[in-house]
């Protein structure tokens, strides 16, 4: 079993839709949870990160962490064609050398 599971998609939605992207994980020691966006032929860019459980909002993006269920989500409101990209979740544990584990990424297409 992978430490981090993420549905690769693709996920196709109409412009203006609310998008929900999710990851599950198996290591209860993870403390930091990140979401990255990667456009084609580019490196990933950090969207937001959260520590422990709870919600964090930044503009149209909301990150949610449920440590009891080992489940994290990224919500995108009022999705735009420019949001079309691959979204990667990532997690870190501050033991054993601060290793970051990435999900495989979900490809999102927002249709105009």
Position 100 contacts other proteins (CB under 8 A): yes
For residues 88 and 48, is the Cβ–Cβ distance under 8 A?
no
Looking at residues 32 to 51 of the shown chain, list those that interact with other proteins (rule: CB under 8 A). Answer: 32, 34, 36, 41-46, 49
Position 101 contacts other proteins (CB under 8 A): yes
Of residues 98, 91, 89, the one with CA closest to residue 7: 89
CB of 15 to other proteins, least distance (A): 27
User: How many of the other CB atoms lie within 10 Å of CB of 44?
Assistant: 18
In this complex, which beta carbon is closest to other proteins, that of residue 64 or of residue 103? 103
For residues 95 and 8, is the Cβ–Cβ distance under 8 A?
no
Tell me phi and psi for residue 7, to 5 degrees: -65, 125
Residue window 57-96: x/- pattern of binding to other proteins, with contact defined by CB under 8 A? -------------------------------x-x-x---x
In this complex, which beta carbon is closest to other proteins, that of residue 61 or of residue 102? 102
Number of residues that bind other proteins (CB under 8 A): 25
For residues 51 and 101, is the Cβ–Cβ distance under 8 A?
no
Tokens 């993420």 sit on residue: 6
Q: What is the DSSP letter of 110?
A: E
- Chain positions contacting other proteins, by CB under 8 A: 6, 8, 32, 34, 36, 41-46, 49, 88, 90, 92, 96-105
């Amino acid at each position: 079993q992978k430490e981090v599971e993420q549905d690769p998609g693709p996920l196709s939605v109409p412009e203006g839709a609310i998008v929900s992207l999710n990851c599950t994980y198996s290591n209860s020691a993870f403390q930091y949870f990140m979401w990255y966006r990667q456009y084609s032929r580019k490196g990933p860019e950090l969207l937001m990160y959260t520590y422990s459980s709870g919600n964090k909002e930044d503009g149209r993006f909301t990150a949610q962490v449920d440590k009891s269920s080992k489940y994290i989500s990224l919500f995108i409101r009022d999705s735009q064609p420019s949001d079309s990209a691959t979204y990667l979740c990532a997690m870190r544990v501050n033991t054993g050398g601060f290793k970051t584990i990435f999900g495989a990424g979900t490809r999102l297409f927002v249709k105009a």
